Structure 1
Amino acid sequence: MHNKNRIKNLFITILVALCCLPRYSTAQTVVTFAEGDIFEYATYYIGNFNIQTGESDVQMFRYKLSSEYGYENDVFVKLWFRISMISPALGIDADKTLIILETDPFQLRADLWIDSRDLSNATNTIYDVNGNAVNISSPPPIEIIEAGEFEQMLAAILTTGKLADGEYTFRVIVTSSDSEMGTFGNPHLVEKTFIVRTPSALSLESPGSSALADSSENEIFTTYPVFNWSSQACTGCDYYLRIAEFKSSFHSTLDEAIEDETTYPFNQSEGWKLVEGGVSTFQYPASGVYPLEMGRLYVWQVKVSRPTTSGNEDIISEIYLFKIAVLGREAESFGETQELGPLLQSLKQALGDGQFTALFGSNGDLEGYNPTGRFTLNGETVDETSATEIITQIINGNIPNIDVQVEE
């Protein structure tokens, strides 16, 4: 009888362990970064954040914290933020920690948007998506760069006011627990690495040059020129272009001409026109602008707008001058009496004068050819502008191999 009671009690104990304990273990907390990003800037100005405390007045990151298991049970989280760098210019050839910050635990009652500006030694109150107040505070940094290395970095910073050139990695981790004093686990990580470089000059390539003395050296043979320039690679940068006529009776310098009435943009209130797609090439359009005319001089200039921690920063190129030749003699050389359109002008630039004349000139296989405006690319109908853009990419070497078929 005694043994039966012991077996009965043991059975009850096992039943409680199997049935009751899992109820309490289901109070899991897994918090993730549901949405958001770490933001990249072309230039980081030291005045916008404090290397020694980690405080910043610009967004380094912004994410929405979300609990995968909802908020019926208590959810507490901590954020961990690290900035590290590699900078050969400073003699730092391996990944080196600049600063590590970690917040005190705080409770989530709903999804919460949080960004880097919320991390400071003071307590900040922000609000979740349901309007609940959330108090966030950060103790002093867990780790900062060593004093000697910081002094070297500071010297470089004081010279330019910017972070030194190098490779910077931003890492954010969120951990969670079901109690404020519990063990925080289930880490979720986001990380990005950016290259910070001192901006290089914005260089114009063609058409033209900065020389005003002999415009014949800058002569081109199309009223639909392709403008090319080069610049340091830059995420988030935008290019702007402006073109104006140089009138020798009114303008004594290239600056006077470019600041006068523009042919592009057509709307004089714009000043500059955005180059779509962030590319460093642009073909003068056939519509929506003042047409360029043969025998006239034109100037052009490019501006790049770079995102920095102090707002957008503009770098403006020098000014180039070019002249559009009278095309009558050249047109007659291959049996044409009208000016070439933008598509044929692009083809001529891609093929070169000799091959173009051999194909389209007198007795050439394509003598008298004139585009109909009907084009297909990989079986899909495209307009003349799209076809011209493809030829421009070939000219710039962006399409190394292409198979062209012409149907009669």
Structure 2
Amino acid sequence: MSNIDLQTGASDVPFFRHRIYSDKYPVFVKVWFRASILSPALDINTRTTLIELEMQPIQIKESVVIDNRNFSTTTSTLLDEANPPNIISVNIQPKASMKISEFESMISNLLVTGQLAPGEYRFELKLYSGSSEADLSLSDQDSKSMIVESPSGINLESPGGALADTSFNVVYTTYPVFNWSKGSCRNCETYIRVAEFKVGYHSSTEEAIRDERMLPFNQSDLWMRLDDVSTYQYPISGARNLEYGKIYVWQIKARVPTTSGMKDEVSSIYTFKIANPSQSTSPATEDLILEQLRQAIGDDQFNAIFGPGSTLEGFKSTGKISLNNTNIDKNTLQQILSQLAKKNLTINSVRVD
């Protein structure tokens, strides 16, 4: 973009190259070209013309190649593909161009970041033809759009967390639902992988995620590609079965389109443990629920509700959980408590029934 001359439209960057030809010669043709940008990051909130050029009608007797690197107000002649080639006089006029201040802002961002500002860059080309200059009509057109993303990172949400806190990051199903956010990323390729963390064998979550994978099933595949989604349930088929009592790690990757090609953005690694729901009423599980509540609401509020002399001193879970008068399972409770602990949710009030 920095190589575009707003005064003339000249550029040495290839935007388009087309051959103009006809079944019958001679024929009159006219070419129109526009490059435009939409980039809220640059405060360009409506589509704005970068440069718009129009070639006055010319008569051709043989096919002609039109290349943007030879399509500017300084271009005075073109050569057709006859043998020997004919010289064609042309007159290319500027129709519109971006404000210098907006263009300088775009170039400044390019120099600082090394890539174009996030947004949509569109290149349009139209060809008009006819038997005379007076009866030209649109005969062909082409339009290409380039989406530039600014990677904002991938944030895993649930299930799981740090390896040291698997007592809190527990789910009660072998088909957990994975949730994450990719910011404002559009047109991104999304991938997931899940592996078992073997205590005493793996020294880190990174080692576990690169070892034998549960998902994808095929060990020659490092990742499994998903649709452009931010939630995914562990599949019933096409993956290895998860088991109660074991610890697992998972990770998300997004491939983001940039001006220099696709760039990989990889999330952190989350760890979770699968507990058997049939054993959820055991004393160990009751202690776990209370510990989860403590981490979610904080020590002061927990002690005020469940501590010595409080209303719920000696509380024990019945295993029945409801949210807004609707029964929920322990896995849903786990996700809510996890969001509270991570400060993604806040408690407005507490009522004891």
TM norm structure 2: 0.62
* Letter paired with 1:83: A
* Letter paired with 1:318: S
Measured in 2, the distance between the counterparts of 1:305 and 1:205 equals: 19
Two-structure CA RMSD over aligned residues (Å) = 4.5
Partner deviation per Cα, 1:243-283 (whole Å, 9 max, x = no partner):
111122122322222122211112222111111x3222222
Residues 244 and 274 of structure 2 are in contact (CA less than 8 Å); yes or no, is this contact kept in structure 1?
A: yes
- Could you tell me which residue of structure 2 aligns to residue 121 of structure 1? 70
Measured in 1, the distance between the counterparts of 2:115 and 2:93 equals: 22
Gap change, CA 1:234 and 1:213, over 3 Å in 2: closer
1:348-367 equivalences in 2 (<5 Å): 354=327
Measured in 1, the distance between the counterparts of 2:190 and 2:124 equals: 30
Measured in 2, the distance between the counterparts of 1:126 and 1:234 equals: 44
Report how far residue 324 of structure 1 moved.
Answer: 0.7
- Could you tell me which residue of structure 1 aligns to residue 245 of structure 2? 295
Q: Secondary structure at the match of 2:272?
A: strand
- Could you tell me which residue of structure 2 aligns to residue 267 of structure 1? 218
Gap change, CA 1:327 and 1:356, over 3 Å in 2: closer
Which residue, 126, 140, 146 being the options, matches 1:173? 126
Partner deviation per Cα, 1:222-249 (whole Å, 9 max, x = no partner):
1111212222354432111111111221
Q: Secondary structure at the match of 2:327?
A: helix
Report how far residue 55 of structure 1 moved.
Answer: 4.5
Which residue, 159, 164, 170 being the options, matches 2:112? 159
- Could you tell me which residue of structure 2 aligns to residue 3 of structure 1? none
Gap change, CA 1:352 and 1:195, over 3 Å in 2: farther
1:145 matched to 2:98: yes
* Letter paired with 2:252: V
Report how far residue 217 of structure 1 moved.
Answer: 0.8
Q: Secondary structure at the match of 2:268?
A: coil
Partner deviation per Cα, 1:292-330 (whole Å, 9 max, x = no partner):
111111111111112333322211111111111133325
TM norm structure 1: 0.55
Q: Structure 1: which 5+ residue stretches go unaligned?
A: 1-45, 128-132, 333-347, 358-408
Give the aligned length.
278
- Could you tell me which residue of structure 2 aligns to residue 28 of structure 1? none
1:199 matched to 2:151: yes
* Letter paired with 1:79: V
* Letter paired with 1:162: Q
Gap change, CA 1:324 and 1:151, over 3 Å in 2: same
- Could you tell me which residue of structure 1 aligns to residue 351 of structure 2? none
- Could you tell me which residue of structure 2 aligns to residue 212 of structure 1? 163
- Could you tell me which residue of structure 2 aligns to residue 316 of structure 1? 266
Measured in 2, the distance between the counterparts of 1:79 and 1:54 equals: 17
1:242 matched to 2:193: yes
Report how far residue 83 of structure 1 moved.
Answer: 1.9
Gap change, CA 1:76 and 1:294, over 3 Å in 2: farther
- Could you tell me which residue of structure 1 aligns to residue 228 of structure 2? 278
* Letter paired with 2:112: T
* Letter paired with 1:292: L
Partner deviation per Cα, 1:159-178 (whole Å, 9 max, x = no partner):
11222244545443222232
Measured in 1, the distance between the counterparts of 2:80 and 2:171 equals: 61
Gap change, CA 1:325 and 1:140, over 3 Å in 2: farther
Gap change, CA 1:222 and 1:355, over 3 Å in 2: closer
1:79 matched to 2:31: yes
Residues 151 and 185 of structure 2 are in contact (CA less than 8 Å); yes or no, is this contact kept in structure 1?
A: no
Gap change, CA 1:101 and 1:219, over 3 Å in 2: same
- Could you tell me which residue of structure 2 aligns to residue 56 of structure 1? 13
Residues 264 and 290 of structure 1 are in contact (CA less than 8 Å); yes or no, is this contact kept in structure 2?
A: yes
